A and B are shown apart, each in its own frame.
Chain A
Amino acid sequence: MNNLAKKFHQDAAHMAENVALRNVIATGLGKYAEGRDKKIADFQDWQKARETASQIKRESLNNLPQNIQQLTEKLTSRGTHIHFAATGSDVCRIVLNILRQKKAKLMIKSKSMTSEEVHLNKALEKEGFKVVESDLGEFIVQLRQEPPYHIVFPAMHLTRYQISDLFHDKLNSQPTENPETLTMIARQNLRSQYIQADVGFTGANFAVADTGMISVTENEGNSRLCGSLPKTMITLIGIEKVIPRLEDLPLFLPMLATVGAAQNLTAYNTLYSGPKRPEEPDGPEEYHVILLDNGRSRLQKDPVYREVLKCMRCGSCLNVCPIYKSVGGHTYNATYSGPIGSVLMPKLFGMAAYKHLSFACSLCCACRDACPVKIDLSHLLLKNRETLSSQFAPKYEKLAFKGMSALFNHPLFWSLGKKLAWIGQKLHPLIEGSAIDPAQCWTATRKAPKLVWHSFKDLWKKYKS
Chain B
Amino acid sequence: MTIDFQNILPKTETEYTAMVNLFANKSADLTTRFVKVFTQREIGLYLNTLATQEKWVSIASHHTPLTDESVIAVPVPCLWTDQGYKIEELEKVSASITGCDALIAQTGSVMLSSRTAGGRALSILPPHHIVLATKNQIVPDLPTAYRMIREKYSPNYPSMVSLVTGPSRTGDIERILVLGAHGPRKLTIILVEEV
Contacts and interface: CB of A to CB of B under 8 A. Distances in A.
Given A264-B10, A267-B164, A281-B85, A248 B3 contact: yes
A228 B115 contact: no
Contact of A220 (B62, B88, B141, B183): B183
B84 interface: yes
B85 A254 contact: no
Contacts of A24: 174
B34 to A, nearest CB: 16
B120 A283 contact: yes
The B interface is mostly helix, strand or loop, or mixed, namely: loop
B10 A220 contact: no
B107 interface: yes
Interface in B91-115: 91, 107, 109, 114-115
A225 B114 contact: no
A282 B159 CA distance: 10
Nearest to A74: B155
B44 interface: no
B188 to A, nearest CB: 15
B1 interface: yes
B168 A273 contact: no
Interface stretch (A152-160, A366-374, A412-420): A152-160
Given A179-B178, A261-B171, A271 B161 contact: yes
Contacts of A227: 120, 160
Contacts of B124: 221, 224-225, 228, 268
Interface in B113-172: 114-115, 118-122, 124-125, 141-143, 145-147, 149-150, 154, 157-172
Contacts of A143: none
B55 interface: no
Contacts of A266: 165
B41 interface: no
B119 to A, nearest CB: 4
A66 to B, nearest CB: 16
B115 A153 contact: no
Given A44-B10, A225-B182, A273-B160, A282 B142 contact: no
Interface stretch (A51-59, A85-93, A340-348, A447-455): A51-59
Nearest to A275: B159
A270 interface: yes
Interface residues of A, number: 78
B145 A250 contact: yes
Given A229-B87, A254-B107, A45 B178 contact: no
Contacts of B175: 27-28, 31-32, 153, 156
Contact of A183 (B3, B82, B83, B170): B170
A199 B26 CA distance: 36
Instruction: Select the residue from A137, A221, A270 with max chain B CB neighbours within 10 A.
Output: A221
Contacts of B10: 42-44, 254, 264
A268 B158 contact: no
Interface in B39-77: 62
Interface string A250-268: 1101100000010011111
Contact of A247 (B146, B167, B168, B184): B146
Given A277-B159, A281-B62, A282-B81, A187 B180 contact: yes
Contact of B119 (A43, A183, A225, A280): A280
A155 B173 CA distance: 7
Given A42-B10, A163-B173, A225-B125, A281 B181 contact: no
A224 to B, nearest CB: 5
Given A195-B91, A250-B145, A282 B120 contact: yes
B173 A179 contact: yes
B64 to A, nearest CB: 13
B17 interface: no
A251 B7 CA distance: 12
A102 interface: no
B172 A136 contact: yes
Given A272-B160, A273-B160, A283-B119, A45 B183 contact: no
Instruction: Select the residue from B81, B121, B175 with max chain A CB neighbours within 10 A.
Output: B175
Given A136-B181, A195-B88, A251-B5, A265 B163 contact: yes
A183 B181 contact: yes
Contact of A264 (B165, B176, B182, B183): B165
B9 interface: yes
B3 A254 contact: no
B92 to A, nearest CB: 11
Contacts of A28: 174-175
A464 interface: no
Contacts of B150: 211, 246-247
B174 A160 contact: yes
A182 interface: yes
A213 B157 contact: yes
Sorted nearest first, the 7 A-B pairs with minimum C-beta distance are A221-B183, A220-B181, A250-B142, A137-B172, A228-B120, A221-B168, A136-B172
Given A246-B150, A254-B10, 15 more contacts: A43-B9, A136-B173, A183-B173, A224-B183, A227-B120, A228-B119, A268-B183, A271-B162, A273-B161, A275-B159, A280-B115, A280-B119, A281-B118, A282-B114, A283-B159
Interface of A: 24, 27-28, 31-32, 42-45, 48-49, 52, 55-56, 59, 78, 134-137, 140, 153-156, 158-160, 163, 179-180, 182-184, 186-187, 190-191, 195, 211, 213, 219-222, 224-225, 227-229, 246-251, 253-254, 261, 264-277, 279-283
5 contacts: A160-B174, A224-B124, A269-B163, A270-B162, A281-B85
